[in-house]
Amino acid sequence: MRLISRISLYLLSVLIGSIFIYSAYTKLNPIQSFEYTMVEYAHLPWILAAFAARFFIGLEAALGLLLLTNFYGKNKWVLKSALILLLVLSGYLIYLRVVFGNNVNCGCFGDAIWMSPMSSLAKNAVLLTAVILLMKFHNGLQKRWVNIVSIISVLLIIALPFILFPLPDQQPDWLKKDKFQLNFSAIYNPALSSNPPREDLRKGKHIIAFMSFACPHCRMAAHKMHIMKEKNPSIPFYFVMAGREEYIKSFWKETGAESIPHTRLDADAFTGLVGYSWPVIYWVNNSWVEAETNYIIMSQGEIEKWLAKP
């Protein structure tokens, strides 16, 4: 009976560790989704969200690996750390439920599994119960070297996301060649554009993003711009879109960016302007492209500085 109990507790630790590792893995694909969740719902600054995303993913993966191997360290500090992490995340889930309701993806399993705050709280309650059982009844692997290996493993694995996914540079990719003038003729041509812009994009400063409805990276870019627009409604974003009708509804649902002004352009005219690699994000000043950026390094602070320049 004692052997069965020990085996059951060992397997329980393996199961919890596997869940932690899978949760960390899903947040990496792509890591920007986890970052955007913390900006949108926790209202963290962009750079702090980027740092926190990498730290929590690394910590979750590290604790998962140690639980998987039944390495608990001195005084079971690994289990205690897992307990604290689950309590912190549960507090965040309660905040999401109270402030934003239950119809949001908490991001606990990235984009792989959509989970509401309440369903994730139920999952955490089960995990908390399992961790408490292990703390009370299971000692894990008891060797002198286990504690040292556990500490080194945590430090190395926490550092790994920062190595694999370096914190993004906040500066835009300023063009090394002379700035060039953007051709707006197709965008304002009713024969090529289903809804030409109501405003004159040829005058003043605008952040113009060329995106395809079917492109997953474009969806990430649009979602990030949507969050920036909510934080600062004065940012002059404009979308020039292309793509098939079947992708439009899911694009707006996933990004929440339908309120940003946009034009749908003929496919040939679209690729004639920006080619076949999207999204293309131009910083346009009186028709002249002064800079371009990608959605990963796109910084709200740098955009606001640029807009403030005479």
Residue located via tokens 């002004």: 261
In degrees rounded to 5, what are phi and psi of residue 104? Answer: -130, 150
Confidence band for 172, pLDDT divided at 50, 70 and 90: confident
Quick: pLDDT tens for 35-61.
Answer: 998 998 888 899 899 999 999 999 999
The pLDDT value recorded for residue 174 is 66
Confidence at residue 277, expressed as pLDDT on a 0 to 100 scale: 87
| Whether pLDDT at 175 is above 70 | no
- For domain 173-308, say whether CATH 3.40.30.10 is its number: yes
- The residue ranges of every structural domain in the chain are 2-164, 173-308
Quick check: 49 and 32 in contact, CB under 8 A? Answer: no
pLDDT, tens digit (0-9, with 9 covering 90-100), for 196-217: 898 999 999 999 999 999 999 9
Confidence band of 142 (pLDDT split at 50, 70, 90): confident
Contact status, residue 299 vs residue 307, Cβ threshold 8 Å: no
- Tens-digit pLDDT profile for residues 103-141: 888 889 988 888 999 999 999 999 999 999 999 999 988
Q: Is the Cβ–Cβ distance between 136 and 80 less than 8 Å? A: no
- Residues 219-272 pLDDT 10s: 999 999 999 999 999 999 999 999 999 999 999 999 999 999 999 999 999 999
Tokens 């199961």, located at residue: 15
Instruction: Give pLDDT, residue 29.
Output: 81
Residue-wise pLDDT tens digits, 217-231? 999 999 999 999 999
For residue 152, give the nearest of 19, 64, 55, 62 by alpha carbon.
Answer: 62
**176 has a pLDDT exceeding 80:** no
What 8-state DSSP symbol labels residue 242?
A: E
Task: Kindly report the number of other CB atoms within 10 A of residue 47's CB atom.
Answer: 14
Model pLDDT, residue 177: 62
Average pLDDT over the chain reads 92
Residue 264 · residue 194 · CB < 8 Å: yes
Give the number of other Cβ atoms within 10 Å of residue 89's Cβ.
Answer: 19
